Chains A and B, each alone.
Chain A
């Protein structure tokens, strides 16, 4: 199979893949095909350069980033090593499946959040243990509607969640919230939001501490969920949640409800 055929197959199967190309320097136009497992084919003209670029490309795949990096002809990266050597510029073009948002709880807020998440390009999974609520008819905009508990869902998919993905827990039910939070904390997911008033959150924190969650782990939870934009309706709340996800990713100081006090609705 040619490099192009391998590449096209991975993209069509929605599997992460990257093309690292020399765009300047020796061996311009040469290519390395990289997956999260490592280099799969091609060469940039030097085995050590291939190794270093494959390593960096794996990192870019994890982050879902496309970038240009500079190396020495043998993969040197430190300024001392790069002194007086020709520079190889490598374009790392990553192709990642869409980020995933897992929403726990089949409620009205879920439908609105799923809609907004679709606009932002997420693969949306709705999960609730209650068969009568978790139906395709109620969530036609979701990519998947699963009737299951959080623990089996995280057992099956937890390892695939990365910094680009989000878990939103909208259930308000300790039976479901606690395993959902614990399951999410065991993954590398980039955003964990949990819905509920400050009072509900305080009670939930007690239950989570009983379940063995540490204060440090608790820092990852965005609860109450969303930005402090005065959202009331499910649709407005969905925007406030997605706004918070964007702000957390970009590191901007949009005010989050978690970081204030007083009533959420003024």
Chain B
């Protein structure tokens, strides 16, 4: 999250709604450790990353759903072996747990 601060400050100053996604846990191998973070604003602009690029697209979609919807935080998991998750699975075969939360604090 350290690397995101300058952009977050700018977005906040511009009054944009922001959601932050953080890696909270990794099962098996994962490209980024817990604490890795990305942020999405209401316009769909993105900073940071939570994997090696494997799940970022899906995270943006989830973050926008939150920002344009109920504004409620949620836990999201990627890397299931079912078909739907296969589309956003990790190339390294691990499972990644994320917490996505609007930056309202």
Contacts and interface: CB of A to CB of B under 8 A. Distances in A.
Given A23-B99, A91-B24, A93-B22, A28 B1 contact: no
Contact of B99 (A11, A67, A91): A91
Given A8-B9, A11-B1, A68-B25, A28 B34 contact: no
Contacts of B2: 11, 95
Nearest to B9: A8
Contacts of B102: 29
A24 B72 CA distance: 12
B9 A23 contact: no
B103 A29 contact: no
Interface in B37-73: 72-73
B95 to A, nearest CB: 14
B103 A95 contact: no
Given A11-B2, A95-B2, A67 B73 contact: no
B103 A4 contact: yes
Contacts of A29: 72-73, 101-102
Interface in A196-252: none
A183 interface: no
Contacts of A28: 72-73
Residue from A11, A12, A23, A66 with most neighbouring chain B CB atoms (10 Å): A23
Interface in A67-88: 67-68
Contacts of B72: 28-29
A91 B105 contact: no
A212 B39 CA distance: 55
A159 interface: no
A58 interface: no
Given A8-B9, A67-B34, A95 B1 contact: yes
A23 B25 CA distance: 12
A93 B35 contact: yes
Interface string A17-48: 00001011000110100000000001000000
Interface in A167-212: none
A11 B101 CA distance: 20
Contact of B101 (A21, A66, A67, A95): A21
Interface string B18-41: 000010110000000111000000
A12 B8 CA distance: 13
Nearest to A31: B105
A66 B103 contact: no
A8 B5 contact: yes
B105 A4 contact: yes
A177 B95 CA distance: 48
26 contacts: A2-B105, A4-B103, A4-B105, A11-B1, A11-B2, A11-B5, A23-B24, A23-B75, A24-B75, A28-B73, A29-B72, A29-B73, A29-B102, A66-B33, A66-B35, A67-B34, A68-B25, A68-B34, A91-B22, A91-B34, A91-B99, A93-B22, A93-B34, A93-B35, A94-B35, A95-B2
Interface of A: 2-4, 8, 11-12, 21, 23-24, 28-29, 31, 42, 66-68, 91, 93-95
| 4 closest residue pairs by CB, A with B | A29-B73, A66-B35, A3-B105, A23-B99
